[in-house]
């Protein structure tokens, strides 16, 4: 048990969210009061966040659970620039319409995990375009340029990494850290926000904001970052061989989301239960102590808890039932990704095109590689010919079951 007195800091430390912070003791004291407000920023570079961002959303959830008001800062302004942190290439420029559409889409996941509203601890959504778009260039330089030195900016990892790899870093991107620092200052002025949280790769950017608040307004504020979340094998959280694990259900089904967590490595079960579920610590300790085949019980619990939070209890139960029917009983669960093909009995489409259409493969070329590797199956039987077609004899119970390896399945139903 930690010595921290506030629910927020104790929870963040015990559950493994803490990596770096400005002063945990002072933050612990502030979290005992009634006025602490904290924020995390999210740029709208795509229509969905992926699991790699889930740890940040869960920290906002921990704040709300501790009775502290969280701010979801949408980067309508900073998305126009692009954060160079952890990137080798300049981001693609998006139009204002694309950014607005992405913001709306991204927020659907937040609404599942947070209470957004007008209550004292309800999360509020703020867009930094409100203030960043109002600055004139010379005004911005005169107000904030004197507080940043090129010498210091060159020491930040986001800059050093790009230069060391001899990748171009545009002046546009070089300004990103100034904009993020101004965000903290503006949120402090408008909402009395005194805490910024983020990933470890954001430490330099966040510290810039802390220093700017102190220099310009003489306000003491707090910074808190999480470690880079990786799997036990060293892979970056949120990415798989098949692609990103998206949070929005229109980009990744609840079943595939459930499967992602079910396939967690044994050594990661306890860590992921602490970070990504609301289970009590005592329950987690019991689950992560399971060994051998019993560890699968903990993985199923992890998959059910995480899927329930994002997609609801009904979707989690359906995903588990589908997995049981598909793997344990050799059947074809109802929640598997499914397409319907009119006239399937007589049309005889190429099987590789059906694999692509169901999303099991990204292209015909990828599908041919799966076939060559012996990973492609139809109704549990391996296929070896990329020119093979679907025939009426393959239809069992009104559908053809397609599989890649042991874990990816889909159904093609006859229309």
pLDDT given at position 156: 82
Judged by average pLDDT, the poorest of 88-102, 175-189, 301-315 is 88-102
| β 195-199/222-226 pair status | parallel
Identify the three-state secondary structure at position 256: helix
Query: How wide is the angle at C-alpha 121 spanned by C-alphas 34 and 303, nearest 5°?
Result: 125
Judged by average pLDDT, the poorest of 77-86, 217-226, 309-318 is 77-86
From residue 160, alpha-carbon distances to 88, 155, 164, 275, 382 in Å are: 11, 6, 6, 30, 49
Kindly report the average pLDDT of the chain as a whole number: 89
pLDDT given at position 332: 58
pLDDT at residue 57 above 70? yes
- Beta bridge partner(s), residue 399: 396, 413
Mean pLDDT of 228-247: 80
pLDDT at residue 207 above 70? yes
CATH top class, domain 338-414: alpha beta
- Helices and strands (H, E) in the chain, number of each type: 19, 13
pLDDT given at position 160: 83
pLDDT given at position 329: 52
CATH architecture of 7-226: 3-Layer(aba) Sandwich (3.40)
Global pTM?
A: 0.80
Sequence ranges of the domains in the chain: 7-226, 253-328, 338-414
Task: Say if residues 295 and 98 touch (Cβ distance below 8 Å).
Answer: no
Mean pLDDT of 387-405: 83
pLDDT given at position 195: 98
pLDDT at residue 297 above 90? yes
Considering only residues 316 and 326, tell me which one the structure prediction assigns the higher pLDDT: 316
pLDDT at residue 248 above 90? yes
pLDDT given at position 162: 78
Max CA pair span of the chain: 76
Express each pLDDT in 341-379 by its tens digit: 887 878 788 899 999 988 888 888 889 999 998 889 888
Residue with tokens 């430490």: 203
Identify the three-state secondary structure at position 357: helix
In angstroms, rounded to a whole number, what is the distance separating the alpha carbons of residues 301 and 284? Answer: 10
Judged by average pLDDT, the poorest of 83-87, 166-170, 250-254, 309-313 is 83-87
Confidence of residue 331 (pLDDT cuts 50, 70, 90): low
Mean pLDDT of 171-194: 93
pLDDT given at position 122: 96
Sheet of 399-404, strands arranged across:
338-341, 408-414, 399-404, 376-378, 381-382
Domains 7-226 and 338-414 share a fold: no
In angstroms, rounded to a whole number, what is the distance separating the alpha carbons of residues 232 and 389? Answer: 41
pLDDT at residue 85 above 70? no
pLDDT given at position 413: 81
Domain 253-328, CATH number (from 1.10.240.10, 1.20.1300.10, 1.10.760.10, 3.30.9.10): 1.10.240.10
Angle between helices 295-311 and 313-323 (to 10 degrees): 140
């Amino acid at each position: 048990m930690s010595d921290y007195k506030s629910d927020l800091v104790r929870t963040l430390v015990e559950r493994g969210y803490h990596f770096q912070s400005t002063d945990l003791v002072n933050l612990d004291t502030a979290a005992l009061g009634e006025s602490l407000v904290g924020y995390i920023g999210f740029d709208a570079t795509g229509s969905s966040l992926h699991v790699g961002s889930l740890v940040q959303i869960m920290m906002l959830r921990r704040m709300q659970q501790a009775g502290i008001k969280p701010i979801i800062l949408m980067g309508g302004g900073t998305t126009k620039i692009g954060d160079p942190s952890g990137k080798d290439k300049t981001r693609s420029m998006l139009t204002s319409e694309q950014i607005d559409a992405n913001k709306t889409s991204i927020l659907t996941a937040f609404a599942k995990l947070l209470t957004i509203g007008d209550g004292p601890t309800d999360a509020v959504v703020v867009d930094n375009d409100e203030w960043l778009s109002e600055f004139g260039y010379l005004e911005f330089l005169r107000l904030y340029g004197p507080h940043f030195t090129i010498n210091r900016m060159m020491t930040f990892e986001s800059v050093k990494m790009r230069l060391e790899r001899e990748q171009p870093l545009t002046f546009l991107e070089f300004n990103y850290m100034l904009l993020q620092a101004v965000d903290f200052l503006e949120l402090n002025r408008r909402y009395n926000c005194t805490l910024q949280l983020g990933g470890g790769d954001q430490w330099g950017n966040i510290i810039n904001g802390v220093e700017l608040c102190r220099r310009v307004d003489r306000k003491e504020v707090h910074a808190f970052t999480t470690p880079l979340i990786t799997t036990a094998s060293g892979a970056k959280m949120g990415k798989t061989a098949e692609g990103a694990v998206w949070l929005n259900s229109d980009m990744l089904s609840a079943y595939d989301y459930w499967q992602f967590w079910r396939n967690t490595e044994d050594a990661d079960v306890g860590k992921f239960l602490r970070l990504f579920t609301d289970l009590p610590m005592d329950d987690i300790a019991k689950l992560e102590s399971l060994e051998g085949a019993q560890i699968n019980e903990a993985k199923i619990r992890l998959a059910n808890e995480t899927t329930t939070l994002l997609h609801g209890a009904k979707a989690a139960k359906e995903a588990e039932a589908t997995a049981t029917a598909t793997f344990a009983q050799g059947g074809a669960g109802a929640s598997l990704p499914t397409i319907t093909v009119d006239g399937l009995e007589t049309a005889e489409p190429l099987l590789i095109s059906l694999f692509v259409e169901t999303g099991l493969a990204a292209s015909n070329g990828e599908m041919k590689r799966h076939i060559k590797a012996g990973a492609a199956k139809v109704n549990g039987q391996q296929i070896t010919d990329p020119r093979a077609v679907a025939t009426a004899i393959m239809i069992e119970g009104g559908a053809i079951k397609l599989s890649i390896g042991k874990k990816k399945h889909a159904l093609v139903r006859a229309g």
